[in-house]
Structure 1
């Protein structure tokens, strides 16, 4: 599933989403609940209650693309915090697609700002 998603931003909508929603329903969640711009080369990821299916909503220059993935074995390690949207790095997106947590405790974290070395 899109190992190299070509979006500037990848947002994960935490908690569960009604997977019966189509493009318009998912777009309404992004716009009204989270006040995010659908048209700025961003991908929005949604997952159902059973965590074995996800949808990706992505704007292309001439319309929306809706991708759907259903796992035949296993579940996505999806954050369950309610009413939250998180901006993922491409690395976190790959972890999610591999069934791993997006919050890897052993991953080396990037430092903010410069580091003085004497």
Structure 2
């Protein structure tokens, strides 16, 4: 969790071959999973949010090198301390199927 904006942007681009200037929020967690950083490019500069949780930990994916594309709901679950796989969540249905 030592990297700043430039270090995280370089990591996004060089290690994960993603565009840090895209319309995406990039989320990073420390090894203890009780803190995270969000990096976002808003069109004229980068914004970075750093948060340390007082109670609890993130249910972060096991593979620390795994890059995942999350839905807004999955991001909310993760930041609320819930698992990305919610067994009781209602699954999305295919539209137009009766």
Q: Is the TM value for this pair above 0.5?
A: yes
RMSD (CA atoms): 1.4
Structure 2 unaligned spans of 5+? none
Q: Please point out which of 77, 81, 84 is paired with 1:102.
A: 84
- Counterpart of 1:31 (choices 10, 13, 18) is 13
TM-score, structure 2 length as denominator?
0.90
Per-residue CA deviations over 1:57-104 (Å, capped at 9, x if unaligned) read 000111100100001111111112142110111111111111101111
Among 85, 93, 96, which residue is 2:75 paired with?
A: 93
Q: What SS is found at the alignment partner of 1:68?
A: strand
| Residue equivalent to 2:37 | 55
Q: Give the alignment's TM-score, normalised by structure 1.
A: 0.76
Question: In structure 2, which of residues 53, 56, 60 is the aligned counterpart of residue 74 of structure 1?
Answer: 56
Alignment size in residue pairs: 98
| Equivalent of residue 65 in structure 1, options 41, 44, 47 | 47
- Secondary structure of the residue aligned to 2:40 is strand
